[in-house]
Structure 1
Amino acid sequence: MSSYQNILNDFLEQWPLEKVKAMSLDQYVSTGDRNTFTQWVENRTIELGSISGQFGSRMFGIYRRGNSSPLDHYENDEFYTWSKKYGKDSDLAFLAIKKHLINIINYSLTGNFSKIDAIPIPDIFKWKVAYLYSNERLIPIFQREVLKEIATYYGLPVNSKTTVSAIQKVLIDNKPLELNTHEFMVELWSKFRPQKKKPKGISTTQQDQGEKSTNDQERSGTSSYIAKQTHNKIQNKLRDKLIAKYGESCVACEKNYVDLTLTYDDTITLYEVKSDAYAATCIRQALGQIIQYAHRLDTTKKLKLYVVGQYSLKANEKPYLDYIQKNLKIDIDYMSIDLK
């Protein structure tokens, strides 16, 4: 597992949606506490994209002052400073901000990114939050000027009304199949970053890694846990759909290690479920497994193979599946199960 994945998984383990819903103001923002939500988003996940800059703590909507003075044109009390639009006192302001954050997270989890544009939280902060909960369906670049330059490069006419969600869609549509979102971010940042500025923690060149370590290493268990939960949701929903259509007697779950097996008429259909955010990666991960499962079957029935993921096959992923179908000469396809 890569370093960035460990960081992302650690964040999601520390700040699941249910904990955000129960979060107090002191848990959201404080001074000298590295475990607050805002500390995690800004600093402890900095390798996943920097949001430091001219906004400072104001991007959080509300912040606790250390030795700094109250700000003009903002609401201030003994401890906190916040934007007037969120409320007259710090408690009301925090409740409004938390409601916005919960909406951002829910929209991100379900892929409704266009709904995030209008939420009144500063862009640089809300899109970092959105990325962290997006199942890597966003590219972790948050500086608007850089995003505009990249979008223009890919042919999107950009003006002051162009939304971040529209730009992110262009970026995702142009992500090479062989790169994950973090790798694509590094590639884009190396081309479009402002001169003499580079987010801390981001390397723009791939170095020779030398001999790989063979020592035992501790790995975060969060990734497998999160992936397993998504896997189970997909598997259960598909199982319910198959049973509703063919009957329970025709559907087997985890038989001979196969996620789902459908036996109907003269055909056996094997389903291998993967939880990755991209269909092409699901296919790549599942291909060897599902072919091996098919090879083990001793049957005269027809065989049909499906790789199953959460998201639909994108236009730039279809040639990959077409190549497999044409050259391997096996009856294999991809299907998506919507978890919204």
Structure 2
Amino acid sequence: MAAQQRPSSKRGPSGAWSRLKTGPVDPLESYGLPSKGETRLNDFKAQEIYYSKIVERYMKFCAASGGSDKLDKQLAALSLNTTPPSTSAPPTLPSKPTPLFSPSRPSGSSAPKPAPLPTAELATILTALRKLREAIIATARRDIFAQRAYIFNIHAAILTKDWESYQPALLSLLYKIHPHTPLPAPDLHEFVGYWVLDLACRQSDLMAAHAARAVWGYKDRRVEVVLKALAHDDWVGFWKMRRAVDGYQKRVMEWAEDGVRLHALKCLGRGYMTADRTYVERCTGKGWEDLVKDGVGWELVEGEKIVIRRPKVK
């Protein structure tokens, strides 16, 4: 009698492999750059949903910054980063923009992932804005949504001094979107002002700045004083206007600060043997400790007097 055959059974996949799960994907990193071949953001509805996620993240970042002073420091720290953020893994640099919120995301393991550093979070937001901007360009979108997205992008990029983002966005807003979807007069005045200041302060092109004023019929007393101060090396007028303008204008003006400060230091070095500490700080727009860190070799004596030069002994 033939031996009874045992029923055959098929083994399933290894249990270890079946238990592996894909980790959560950051919604802002779920898309690639349209300039690298990403096409999913070519859909208008997808662009609008993606924009709402960016705004939500930015608002959370700002709320978690711990106050305007800390936020300003984080924004300044990120503006020092010259390396463009990676689209896959944002750099963990010492950041300045405090508006970076770092919500912890659960991983496949029981131990939660550490919350991302503020700079990394802000870098992710800025990269997402670049993706959205490229998608709007790829679809030649010039409606109200494109206008709103560009305005948000420009504001965020100016605060982080990311000129490679805000300059093309400014030009597109003014010369491509505005002719089809006109900006309200106050908004047009605001963004033309940023462009005039960028030409004068970052690009050091006062002639182009005045030409832009003429083309757009732009008039603003504070911006005019800034242009005049730069033309005449008037650091008193420049620092005065720096205190008077709003936060976005102030950030654009920072591009010219080093040149203004250097000129003030040279004038003090040639014209004074000694000077009061408060006067030097007022002329340079910077505290004494920061000036020393920058390499100023003058000597502080008696707490309040700075020795700039000592008389030569014959």
Sort the TM-score into its range (normalised by shorter chain): under 0.3
Is the radius of gyration larger for structure 1 or structure 2?
2
Q: Taking structure 2 as the reference length, what is the TM-score of the superposition? A: 0.27
Greater strand content: 1
